Amino acid sequence: MSAPATARPEAPGGHLPYRLIATDLDGTLLRGDDTVSPRSRDALAAATAAGAAHIVVTGRAVPWARHVLDDLGYRGLAVCGQGAQVYHAGEHRLLTSVTLDRQLAGLAVAKIEAETGPLALAASRDGLDGEVLVGPGYQAQGPLPYLTFQDMDEVWSAPLNKLYIQHPELDDDALAHVARTVAGHLVGVVMSGAGIVELLPLGLSKATGLSLAARRLGLRAADTIAFGDMPNDIPMFGWAGHGVAMANAHAELKSVADEITASNDEDGIAVVVERLFG
């Protein structure tokens, strides 16, 4: 895997096309089986050896991202929780963390349910060890750990990074549209995967966290190439100098990408990184 995300000078006698490589995890760097291919590992390692920095930028909060980063031997900065958290993987330490206003979140849920009827809810608690709470009817994605709840008072009892919402009939695009229409002035609304519509602190995005992390490394938006696959990556593409969507990406992200590469299962990141840094 890539070396720690620390800013370095350009290679002697050469010019780096980008000094910062920002990669989403699910559907982007991770293959469908939640692994990173040897080719992708080698491509990123070669780029960092040449002087670039690599930062993971994921919708997962730290507790759901940490085991992936540790398994990869990732030691640098990571942006987690849709930009809410800047995490130092090597030190297992949160550098910044933004929480969701629970009163506004409760009002947002009420406004959405007034339009759609009852929602199924889950919530991500703040902190290095913040649990994910899953309520009745919510279909949790994948094998990641969570606790169940029956009473909403449990959700509001501790600081949160975000809420997850699902609806028994509306698809993700329709649910996100309704949520933005009736509650977009209270919370941010993003779709980050199949069955994953999230309510975030208003104004928060992956671009927010990435810009903070880049600043710590002395790097700028123009120095950055970003890879992603879902609409929650749109702000990151808007901030970065160059945005690359995976072949498996959502149509909304493809429409704003500067480039479309191969899918996450076909080493799409490596295809681009090898071309630029080879």
pLDDT tens by residue, 22-78:
999 999 999 999 999 999 999 999 999 999 999 999 999 999 899 889 888 888 999
Helix axis angle for 38-49 and 268-277, nearest 10°, is 30
The CA distance from 209 to 161, in Å, is: 13
The b-or-e profile of 20-58 (16+ CB within 10 A means b, else e) is bbbbbbbbbbbbeeeebbeebbbbbebbbebbbbbbbbb
pLDDT tens by residue, 170-225:
999 999 999 999 999 999 999 988 889 999 999 999 999 999 999 999 999 999 99
Contact 86, 98 (CB under 8 A): no
pLDDT band at 134 (very low <50, low <70, confident <90, very high): very high
The pTM of the full predicted model, rounded to 2 decimals, is 0.90
